[in-house]
Amino acid sequence: MENNSKTIAVRYCSKTKAGNTRRIAEAIAKGAGVKAVSIADEDKLTEYADILFLGGAPYANIMDPELRGYAENLPSEKIGKVVLFTTSNWSRRTVRALRKILTEKGIAVVEEYFYAHMLSIDAKLKEAESFAEKYI
Ligand SMILES: Cc1cc2nc3c(=O)[nH]c(=O)nc-3n(C[C@H](O)[C@H](O)[C@H](O)COP(=O)(O)O)c2cc1C
């Protein structure tokens, strides 16, 4: 019998007490039927993922160095493609920077990404869940 089920992983970097990116990651994970994992708790992707949802936020105009390091060290052979997400006050640069790092490593990054403004997290949770459902 053919098995079309995809392996999905959700990884995020979230630094503020509000946990904005974590909350969006958890909504994405809910939509995808998996658990969201902080890169602070698991610093390497060990299992193959057909789709890796990866998200972070900018702090003083740059993404957290921990997230940069995580992206730079992602094993390209363990990833089908990456779908990015970010939260911020205005900037989308985390998405641009992650896309550049991953593309240069030969990892496919989906054009579409998920954005939530830091003050609209509650209002975006359902949308994040539906966003993820499209990829499963
Ligand atoms: C110290 C600090 C610096 C920030 N700098 C920026 C910034 O340069 N651009 C921006 O759009 N948002 C900025 N923000 C807003 C965060 O990116 C936003 O609150 C984000 O949702 C935080 O995600 P987290 O709660 O998952 O850590 C900053 C927030 C903090 C606390």
Cα(79)–Cα(63) distance, rounded to whole angstroms? 22
| Ligand 1 midpoint to CA 58 (Å) | 5
Low-confidence ranges of the chain (pLDDT < 70): 1-4
Domain chopping of the chain, boundaries: 8-131
Q: Would you say 37 and 77 are in contact if contact means Cβ atoms under 8 Å apart? A: no
Task: Give pLDDT, residue 2.
Answer: 54
- Ligand 1 atom 2 nearest Cα: 59
Kindly tell me the burial class for residue 39, based on how many C-beta atoms sit within 10 Å of its own C-beta (0-12, 13-18, 19 or more): buried
- Tens-digit pLDDT profile for residues 93-103: 999 999 999 99
The residue assigned the tokens 């060290």 is: 73
Q: Are 87 and 118 in contact (CB under 8 A)?
A: yes
C-beta of 110 in contact with ligand 1 (< 6 A) = no
CATH homologous superfamily, domain 8-131? Flavodoxin domain (3.40.50.360)
Helices vs strands, H then E, count in the chain: 4, 8
